[in-house]
Amino acid sequence: MQRARRPLRIVTAALPALALLLAGCGGNADKEIAGGGQLGGRTLTVYSLTRDPTGASRDEVDGQKLALAEAHGRVGRLIVNFAAFDLGATSATAATATQRAIEDPQIIAAVVDATRVTVPLLNAAGILQVAPGGDLALGADPQATPSGHPTLAPLAPGTVPPGFAARFQSTFGRAPTVPARAGYRAMRTILRAIAHGGNDRTQVIRAYLR
């Protein structure tokens, strides 16, 4: 399976066991899974992890794409890329997709529903998880937060700016839905957090949560 790191790529996850992936967050974890901290270089990637990103979840993904395109793919001197992975239909495929995103040394945040698969993996890696849906109570569950630090955040309150519907229609040829608006807002708030936290995962989390 191709592993080239390019923006706007859509990849379908494979099927290793969830238990093995969770074990990978322990003492022998890869160096990318180090629990937050500053990234090297000026290129970051925001991941969208959904089921069927080119089909059922297309609107949410396209909302994120539009927000990033309107920022010209930049926050100050930082370049921000976008990638979308398919969570699949099982816990094992969801774990694989999440783990693959974590292994990208450029990952700065992920937009993905809060589940008992996604929350522990992203928390152990110290990566901001913006959850449009799912079980947000997992953020306060010690079993789901192995790092002991908060990394899960709900979609920030607010609305899309004037003209969003027209821009979405013009770009994608269809009217935006509620998930499209949620995806747009998620990306906009992540970009604002990056503006405050730079290429430091821990500071981006703090900026989003404050």
Domain ranges of the chain: 38-209
Q: Nearest 5°: CA angle at 138, between 151 and 158? A: 65
First CA to last CA distance, the chain: 39
pLDDT at 110: 98
Backbone region of residue 37 per phi and psi (left: phi > 0; alpha: psi in -120 to 50; beta: other values): left
pLDDT tens string, the chain, 210 residues long: the values are 444 443 344 333 333 334 444 444 443 333 443 467 889 899 999 999 999 999 999 999 999 999 999 999 999 999 999 999 999 999 999 999 999 999 999 999 999 999 999 999 999 999 999 999 999 999 999 999 999 999 999 999 999 999 999 999 999 999 999 999 999 999 999 999 999 999 999 999 999 999
Give CATH for domain 38-209: 3.40.50.2300
pTM for this prediction? 0.84
pLDDT at 3: 43
Residue reference for tokens 């790529």: 9
Strands 78-86 and 74-75: antiparallel
pLDDT at 38: 86
